[in-house]
Amino acid sequence: MKRFYMALALLLFTAVLLWGCAFSESRGIPKDVDEGGLPVRTEMKLGDREREWALVYFQSWRQHRKGLYLNLSRQHMAQAVKSYFDLQVKIGHSFPDFYTLDRRRRSGCRFLDEIDRLAARFRVAIENSGLMGCLPGS
């Protein structure tokens, strides 16, 4: 009988320990929230929304060849890249979505580079040609 209670106590202790580990959150912050307070995926969606607007304006530029659309496309993509970069810096390499953000950021940088080449080719004046969040060769 004593063995039964010892096994039951060990089982109960193990269950409580596993339950505590499963629901623990470091520093009181949920696993999908960075230190800024917004959930990471919500901030990713904000960058994605900017990226989608950039693509919409780029398609409009392809149809109408108005420099305004190319400028707007570049502004929105630059904002998306900056958003992805800032979020990467906040969350660090250990977060599961870090490499997804990195792919999106690098893709955005290539898109910005393409816009700059098209602007030079078609003589469109680009307002802000800085590449914030883009590393050389990315």
Token code pair at residue 112: 């910005």
Distance from C-alpha of 36 to C-alpha of 9, rounded to nearest angstrom:
42
- Kindly write down the DSSP assignment for every residue of 91-119, as one continuous string: H-TTSTTHHHHHHHHHHHHHHHHHHHHHH
Q: What is the pLDDT of residue 29?
A: 41
- At residue 94, does pLDDT exceed 50? yes
Radius of gyration of the chain (CA): 24
pTM of the model: 0.71
Give the residue with greater pLDDT, 78 vs 4. Answer: 78
The string of pLDDT tens digits covering residues 26-37 is 444 444 444 556
- The whole-number pLDDT of residue 134 equals 86
Give the domain ranges of the chain. Answer: 33-121
* DSSP classification of residue 125: P
DSSP class of residue 127? S
Percent of the chain exceeding pLDDT 90 equals 55
CA angle, residues 130, 132, 134, in degrees to nearest 5: 105
Measured between its terminal Cα atoms, the distance across the chain in Å is 68
CATH number of 33-121: 1.20.58
Q: What are phi and psi of 34, to 5 degrees?
A: -85, 180
Q: Which residue has the higher pLDDT, 91 or 19?
A: 91
